[in-house]
Amino acid sequence: MAKQKLPAEALEYFRKQGAKGGKLSGEARMKKLTPEQRSAIAKKASQRAAEVRSKKAAAKKKAS
């Protein structure tokens, strides 16, 4: 059975619906967390972002 691709309009509709649901579920999740849990999540995200920035900077420096 061959896979059929959806039309671009349908794909865009589903993408928007997924993004909308993701925002709602993220907000609901945050309301259920304690301040300490939210802080821990923020720290982890911040550390990961710093790692990514460092890797990009190192790659850029190596390339030049």
pLDDT value at position 5? 87
Q: Is 34 within 8 Å of 42 (Cβ atoms)?
A: no
Answer whether residue 55 is part of any domain: yes
Check residue 2 and give its pLDDT.
66
Please, where are the H alpha helices in 1-64?
Answer: 8-32, 35-63
- pLDDT in the model for residue 26: 81
Residue 2 covered by a domain: no
Mean pLDDT for back-to-back runs of 10 residues, the chain (64 residues):
82 88 84 96 96 93 81
Residue-level pLDDT at 47 = 97
At which residue do the structure tokens 């259920």 appear?
Answer: 32
**Within a domain: residue 58?**
yes
Task: Please check whether residue 63 lies inside any domain of the structure.
Answer: yes
Q: Classify residue 60: in a domain, yes or no.
A: yes
Number of separate domains in the chain: 1
Domain of residue 47: give its range: 34-64
